[in-house]
A and B are shown apart, each in its own frame.
Chain A
């Protein structure tokens, strides 16, 4: 792996890259039986309808953060099904939750994947599983977080069904709205949080490019922080 002057990661040799993206050797670690320990039990598996799924994490007693494209895509809301905290394969130690509310920024509805910076959202659950398993913090991230070590937990599609994996890595580029990172990801990792060692999330996994050779997350800016905070405490009325 090499880093350009702009911080963009490029393959160090032919064959180093594969789609959605494993950087060099595969560094992912199975969470296994640790799915009932903190912070892994705060990670959620989200059924998005039609056989789709995403990752996410609890950030309040009944609040989940994930990517907007997991909730709204192609001009309509996804058929969100059950949400499982701490799921690892067939192990569902905290059962499942339904949902009351889905939130995305209106910019995502307008622009979708032409404006990745709006690819963040939240789910308000019907249960308070967070009071049982806890939740992750979230914080803004500025240029000072360049090089910060992170872990990204989620449910990659090349592993046994619905098993939780941890991908360690670093933040490799910081721009106004997007973070690039070198933790390994695959489809199914959408919506996972870039979790620092202090268990604060600074980015939400969004997309990748095998051509441009990056994995990318939406950076939690002050605006996004405030949105997540207000959505966390929302309830269905009437």
Chain B
């Protein structure tokens, strides 16, 4: 009887362990060049848009500086507009103070709200100094 109980306990434990496959969070996730990148999820919002001058011409290299209004931890990735004036960045859902700077232009400041799963388009026009 005792041996039967011990055997049953061992089987139950083995089943529990086998059924609970705890994955190692430090195990590598790998992305190979040429593989699809996937699409943005719903954890963050996506902020995209263009930076142009008053004549509608794109401004390359305008720095977009997002800072959380609540001051909570945030990563330190840089962002600047591309040659065609466009930019895109994923941001955690919260409010941000945005400062846009480009040489020869007046700083642009705004407060923007980023919502999870929402694509926010910002068309920013800078005025010359």
Chain A residues within CB distance 8 Å of chain B: 19-20, 48-54, 67, 69-79, 98-113, 115-116, 118-119, 126, 155-158, 161, 185-190, 205-212, 216, 223-224, 227, 230-231, 234, 236
Contacts and interface: CB of A to CB of B under 8 A. Distances in A.
B77 A48 contact: yes
A157 B31 contact: no
B77 A51 contact: no
Given A52-B78, A75-B41, A209-B74, A106 B28 contact: yes
B67 interface: yes
B94 to A, nearest CB: 11
| Interface range for B | 35 or more
Interface of B: 23-33, 37-44, 46, 48, 61, 63-68, 70-82, 86-90, 92, 97, 101
A211 B88 contact: no
Contact of A54 (B42, B64, B78, B80): B78
A98 B101 CA distance: 29
Contacts of A109: 29
A227 B41 contact: no
Contacts of A76: 37-41
